[in-house]
Amino acid sequence: MNCRKLARFLSAKPLLIAALFCLPAHAAKKQVIGFSQIGAESAWRSAETESIRSEAAARGIDLRFSDAQQKQENQIKSIRAFVAQHVDAIIIAPVVETGWEPVLREVKRAKIPVVLVDRGIRVSDDSLYATLIASDFVEEGRRAGDWLAKKLNGKGNVVELQGTTGAAPALDRKKGFEESIAKHPGIKVIKSQSGDFTRAKGKEVMEAFLKAEGKNINAVYAHNDDMALGAIQAIEEAGLKPGTDIIVVSIDGVKSAFEAMVTGKLNCTVECNPLLGPAAFDAIEAALSGKPVPKKTIVQDNVFDQEAAKNAIASRKY
């Protein structure tokens, strides 16, 4: 049994630990961890929640879960509640980059370690959190841009569906995409607007783009698969063929995106791995035992086009 499996096995058996070390039963108490999740806005988000919930269960951890419905004030409220419950550690998926210093200073005063997953924050004092476990969103944007530039042979009009305003993945995926297409003066972003990472809003914004620009649109770049799938619906309802009349490229790599690539409606997705549970709890273990934790752990991602999707779809985990 390797170390991680042993840790998971033992942490799920607090009484066994007590017996092994001749401690009174109450001494080996269950670890209590608060998880402030953004919401359930996308298939990616649900996969991330499932990864953290199932890993907590496998490790015998008492996970206190709160869904913020994509509102920062709800996240701040739940973080304060976790402090009041004297949890052992807090996991946060921060909906936006700014506005976290005051509440994180309260958590630091309570000596509770914080692990950030999937999105980063801007703070003047990075001791306010132990580590960030996330993908490199700028690189994801670059990869989407490079793939699209090649597909369009360096020429075409693109409309962009941005993620949640102020969120790290939205800011950085836009930045990376712009860096990449700057190398191709023939490619122009003619419209760009937030679809808030949801399928419904992605469809609504794409409908407006089609009304304004119609056949002038050669491609759509969506910051996540859910908005891309909404855009695909809008393109079909406008009597056009997604994946052919309008090229569609997005980010996340969820199962429904692979299904859309197999049917030819989506052309490419850049993976953004949501299965962050094991790394998050390993980081908490290290932080609680005073071991050094790297400030940022980058999750590796791959790019999938329609050919790659046909070969990979059967083995996808989310």
Q: At closest approach, how far in Å is the CB of 274 from ligand GZL?
A: 7
**Least gap, CB of 21 to ligand GZL (angstroms):** 39
User: Given the complex with ligand GZL, which of 260 and 272 has the nearer CB atom?
Assistant: 272
In this structure, are residues 219 and 245 in contact, taking their beta carbons and an 8 Å threshold? no
Six-digit token string for 159: 């409309």
177: contact with ligand GZL by CB under 6 A? no
- Rounded Cα distance, 306 and 160, in Å: 21
Answer yes or no whether residue 172 interacts with ligand GZL by CB under 6 A.
Answer: no
Kindly state the tokens that stand for 172: 């950085």
Selected from 238, 272, 279, 287, the binder of ligand GZL by CB under 6 A is 272
b/e for 162-197, b at 16 or more Cβ within 10 A?
Answer: bbbeebbbbbbbbebbeebbeebeebeeebbbbbbb
Min dist CB 244 to ligand GZL, Å, is 25
Instruction: Specify the residue, 28 or 68, whose C-beta has the smaller distance to ligand GZL.
Output: 68
Phi, psi torsion values for 293, nearest 5 degrees:
-120, 130
Q: Which stretch binds ligand GZL (CB under 6 A): 41-49, 54-62, 154-162, 259-267?
A: 41-49
The answer to whether 42 contacts ligand GZL (rule: CB under 6 A) is: yes
**Structure token pair of residue 2:** 């390797």
Rounded least distance, CB 195 to ligand GZL, Å: 10
What is the closest distance, in whole angstroms, from the C-beta atom of residue 157 to ligand GZL in the complex?
24
Q: Which stretch binds ligand GZL (CB under 6 A): 19-27, 39-47, 240-248, 277-285?
A: 39-47
* Nearer of residues 132 and 287 to ligand GZL, judged by Cβ: 132
Torsion of CA 257, 259, 263, 269, to 10 degrees: 30
Residue 129 makes contact with ligand GZL by CB under 6 A = no
DSSP codes joined into one string, 31-47: PEEEEEE--S-SHHHHH
Residues 6+ apart with CB under 8 A from 275: 47, 48, 51, 317, 318
Q: Which is nearer to ligand GZL, 45 or 142 (CB)?
A: 45
Torsion of CA 182, 183, 189, 194, to 10 degrees: -60
Residue 41 lies near ligand GZL (rule: CB under 6 A): yes
Asked whether 125 and 111 are in contact (CB, 8 A), the reply is: no
What is the enclosing helix (H) or strand (E) of 23? none
Nearer to ligand GZL, 248 or 251 (CB): 251
Cα distance between residue 207 and residue 159, in whole Å: 11
- Which residues between 132 and 161 bind ligand GZL (CB under 6 A)? 135
Kindly state the smallest distance separating residue 196's Cβ from ligand GZL, in Å: 9
**Which of 31, 35, 44, 268 touches ligand GZL (CB under 6 A)?**
44
| Short-list 256, 296, 292, 299, CA closest to 278 | 299
Using CB under 6 A as the binding rule, the residues of this chain from 197 to 236 that contact ligand GZL are: 197, 224, 226
Which element (helix H / strand E) includes 114? Answer: strand 114-117
Quick check: 304 binds ligand GZL (CB under 6 A)?
A: no
Compose the 61-100 pattern: x for residues touching ligand GZL by CB under 6 A, - for all others: ----------------------------------------
Residue numbers of the site for ligand GZL (CB under 6 A)? Answer: 41-42, 44-45, 118-119, 135, 169, 197, 224, 226, 251-252, 272
